[in-house]
Amino acid sequence: MREAERVGEALPAEILDIVIFTTGIIPAPRREETTEGIERDMVVSYLSRLVVLRAIAPRLGQDRREAQMKPCVFIMGFPGSGQVGTLDDLNAEKYYGAIHVYMNTVAGNEMLVLDVAIRYPNATSFGLNPGLIKTNIRKTFLGVDTLKSRFTEWIIGLLNPSAETYAERLRPLLVSPDLELHSGALFDRKGSVILPSPKLTDRSYVKGFIAASEKLVSRAKVCVSL
């Protein structure tokens, strides 16, 4: 968390047009913590994004010259999948299950899109759901270079687009001037709009989840700016 805070403060947000968050892991079969006492997947896949955004969002695009549109924030995850998270156990101290914890980060990232869209009028934010893509993100769950891991990634690569193909498909969307009218929108792997998870349209629930996330971040002695 403190490293995320440092990175956020160091980034030249004032001159950025686009910020894309792709950092993430799949949780290990057994609970792991960072040195700050926070569950590892929550830190890497969600809370670090929250901390960086709090540091850069107020400054985004301030020094750009002749900008044609607001700076855009893209948050990659699995938005629109119906996940709402476990509000009273974000640190997985009451119960730990790898998929259970991962779905907390899925919900958190979707809510982060909606929160940024409302909290920072100087920027726009969007959620990206690429579906399954062949990467090494599953190695913490399946094991590094295990037969199970290699076979899983082979099957995923056989049935789904590569990371390069996905990036090519999304490139026109990332720079479209039409985006400015639709801050908070979510997009699938082909760049088509998808519906948000039903409960996450409840602004009070989103505010409660973000507040719980900020409380967890504060354990690392990181102060997120409200």
The domain limits of the chain are 2-132+174-220
Backbone angles phi, psi at 20, to 5 degrees: -120, 120
Query: In the numeric block, which tokens belong to residue 8?
Result: 């956020």
SS3 label, residue 19:
strand
pLDDT digits (tens, 9 = 90+) for 167-189: 999 999 999 999 999 999 999 99
Backbone angles phi, psi at 146, to 5 degrees: -85, 160
The CATH class given to the 2-132+174-220 domain equals: alpha beta
* Closest alpha carbon to 77 in 102, 52, 55: 102
Residue 56: what residue type? I
d(CA 42, CA 38): 7
Q: What is the DSSP string of 46-91?
A: IIHHHHHHHHHGGGTTTT-SS-SS--EEEEES-TTS-----TT-TT
Give Cα separations from 85 to 46, 57, 107, 211, 213 (angstroms): 12, 24, 5, 13, 11
pLDDT tops 80 at residue 144 = no
Query: In the numeric block, which tokens belong to residue 198?
Result: 């039903």
Q: Cα 9 to chain center, whole Å?
A: 19
Average pLDDT, the chain: 90
pLDDT digits (tens, 9 = 90+) for 79-128: 999 999 998 999 999 999 988 999 999 999 999 999 999 999 999 999 99
HSE at residue 30, side-chain half, CA atoms within 13 A, is 0
Query: In the numeric block, which tokens belong to residue 125?
Result: 């934010």
Is the pTM value of this prediction over 0.85?
yes
Query: In the numeric block, which tokens belong to residue 180?
Result: 């400015």
